Structure 1
Amino acid sequence: MGVSLGPACDQSKEGGRSMSGSERSLGACNYIHLNKMIIIFIACLVFILSNSAFAQDVKISPRSFGEFIPDLYQPAAIIDDDDRRDEASYAREKGVDPAVIKKRFAPTGIIRCRGKDTGSGQVSYKRNVITTAAHVFIDYDSCEIKNKIEDCVFMTEMDGRNIVRNLKNMVGNGLIKKCPNQKRYDDWAVLRLSAPVPETVQPYKLADVEVQDNERVIQISARAGDFYSVNRRTGRREYPKAIGDCKVKKVYLWTPGPIYFSSNCDTGGGSSGGAVIRMQSEQPILLGILVSNDEPAQDEARATKGNRPNPNRGAYSEGKWASYHIPVTGEFRAAILRAGDSDD
């Protein structure tokens, strides 16, 4: 069956005269036929690609875009709602530039000892002062030293470059003073850095108003063992800062003020020492540090190994399903001020 290529093939003109049949086959009709074939080829190509993996929502390696893929995070245990986000996701939810979030939480970093990430910490009060949990350095149960100060560094990132500082000395440590009669609210440590971090990293200010029941806060850790994505190109895990909006639930008071508080913040292994933040006039204020949670040990172990089941979910329950923190008060606060204001 013949297929008409349209009137141009039948009535083409050149120089005011009708073209012969052979001229038409070599001229306008051939040209139009070629264009039609090109259009058909492009249409077929579009159809094929639209039904292939190339045109679908392919998850590209997070390193390619400099951010992480939120839906790859699978926490082991969730209290109330799943609140943790990486910096890029947190910025999107808040509708702010990611650079603002990176700068805001730049004081939070990793404490790494003998090449291993051992806990979170933060630049606090002054640019040479770090706060964290004491059990990053001392075993809570045996009171034996497990990481020496000289074997550890503090690491954070700002403006696209890594900032690494050696730890200089321990100014205060609640466990050392109280062992073997230690309590969870003794699990704090204050250290000095060998040199201040750059001015681009502004330390968290200390709270002037004590932590309150049901106060909305932000919990931020440099990393958590059950909060990571896998780089599709290298196969390696990548651990972002874990930022979560959550709420203080119960404050434990002791003369002259709070000594411990619980929250519904989601946390995991490696989060110890991380900050609990109150936002005040767009400034992050340090309320306390994370020291423990009620996450089942078996869930945390499975999450760390990568064999993660569906996370356990539960409503906040004091002593059963919660995270626990030490406020920046009393001896803890005094050690921070001493570390920043003197060289002893």
Structure 2
Amino acid sequence: MLAGLALCHITGPAAAQERKNVAARDLPPSAVVIDQDDRLSRADFARVNGLPLSVVNARFGATGLVRCGSAVGTGQLVGASNVLVTAAHVLFAPGGKPRGDGGGCTFQIDAGGRRQVVPIDVEGVVCGAREPYNEPAVKDWAVVPLAGAVIGAKPYMPARSIAVPSDIVLGAAAKSGGVEAFSLQSCRARQVTARAPSGLREVALDCDAEGGVSGAGLLTPEGAFVGVYVGFRSAHPGKAGPYSMSHYNFGVTAEGTLREAIDEVVGRNRSASVAP
């Protein structure tokens, strides 16, 4: 299991408020919208991009809802049909305790023509930190096995790396207050805001996000997994404005120890995985 890596200290602009978004009763959410809210439903995303809806559903169909205690975030199948990647703070509360145990943490996804709700094995997690609120954002990721395989969804495959700047798609499953709302948005990874010795990079995004988007996948337009959304830094959260270093969302790249963790958990759970 990967643990104990010394990652760089990260700070935001002095005028900006930083928050790791999650839709939980004890964590008030704030939407950080860049210019205007450009998130789309799958059907609208297909229409705008001139793609058959069936292609969009297949390409971006591994995203679902993570419920853990009172928290509601986003997660996705990566590498295998029984391996979930999300933000660590969706699973762990301040102080490092899991937000839920037993059947209290689940992954919910519509796949194979039906809704599937699969328990999350929080004890099997490999993560950057179990206390992500006290750590740099580059540690706010978690790779965790599911108690069973999701049938009918094609897992995202991790890309070798992400170019910055580059075009990405942000795939989310919820909004503030734990409201289920699947959305896709074409946006950009704009610049690297921090680097870690472990090989991960923190990247500023001009995507739109709010509570519930935590843990959402940063994907290539072709559907490869390149990172995970973590939170925002903004001098005016809740009020739309142009992208700047005092108003942006950010994520962590699926490189270094995060990529190693994906490989480890996929390998560990391969025998229990069911091909979609």
TM-score norm. by structure 2 comes to 0.78
Structure 1 position 258, deviation (Å):
3.8
The unaligned stretches of length 5 or more in structure 1 are: 1-74, 227-236, 300-311
Asked if structure 1 preserves the Cα contact closer than 8 Å seen for 2:83 and 2:265, the reply is yes
Opposite residue 136 of structure 1, the aligned amino acid is V
Question: Is the counterpart of residue 88 in structure 1 residue 43 in structure 2?
Answer: yes
Q: Does 1:99 align with 2:36?
A: no
Q: 1:145 to 1:117 in 2, by over 3 A?
A: closer
The residue aligned with 1:138 is 92
* 1:330-341 correspondence to structure 2 within 5 Å: 330-341=256-267
| Residues 137 and 148 in structure 1, CA contact (< 8 A), matched pair in contact too | no
Distance 1:180 1:93, change over 3 A: closer
Runs of 4+ aligned residues of structure 1 deviating over 4 Å after TM superposition are 178-181, 295-298
1:204 deviates by 0.4
User: Which of these residues, 133, 138, 144, is aligned with residue 185 of structure 1?
Assistant: 138
Give the match for residue 39 of structure 1: none
**What is the percentage of aligned positions where both structures have the same residue?**
26
Structure 2, gaps ≥5 residues long? 1-29, 271-276
Q: Provide the rounded CA distance (Å) in 2 between the counterparts of 1:316 and 1:180.
A: 24
Show CA shifts across 1:31-70 (max 9, x none). Answer: xxxxxxxxxxxxxxxxxxxxxxxxxxxxxxxxxxxxxxxx
What's the CA shift for 1:80?
3.1
Cα distance, 1:102–1:296 mapped onto 2, change above 3 Å: farther
Which residue in 1 is equivalent to 2:243? Answer: 316
Matches within 5 A, 1:258-269: 258-269=200-211
Greater C-alpha radius of gyration: 1
Alignment of 1:175-214 (within 5 A): 175-176=129-130, 182-198=135-151, 200-208=152-160, 210-214=161-165
Is it true that 1:239 corresponds to 2:206 in the alignment? no
How far did residue 248 of structure 1 move? 0.7
Residues 297 and 156 of structure 1: CA distance in aligned 2, closer, same or farther (over 3 Å) = farther
- How far apart, CA to CA, are the structure 2 residues paired with 1:187 and 1:113? 16
Distance apart, 1:89 and its partner CA: 1.2
Q: Is the 8 Å Cα contact of residues 110 and 117 (structure 1) preserved in structure 2?
A: no
Equivalent residues of 2:71, 2:90 under 8 A apart: no
Aligned residues: 239
**What's the CA shift for 1:96?**
2.1
> Are residue 291 (structure 1) and residue 230 (structure 2) matched?
yes
Letter in 2 for 1:133: A
Shift in alpha-carbon separation, 1:179–1:108, aligned structure 2, 3 A: closer
| 1:278-332 deviations in Å (ceiling 9; x for gaps) | 13xxx41111001101367873xxxxxxxxxxxx2211112x2111101111221
Calculate the aligned-residue CA RMSD, in Å: 2.6
Tell me: CA distance 1:149–1:335, structure 2 relative to 1, closer, same or farther (3 Å): farther
Q: Which has the bigger relative contact order, CA under 8 A and spacing at least 6?
A: 2
* TM-score w.r.t. length of structure 1: 0.63
Determine the C-alpha separation between the residues in 2 that align with 1:113 and 1:184. Answer: 20
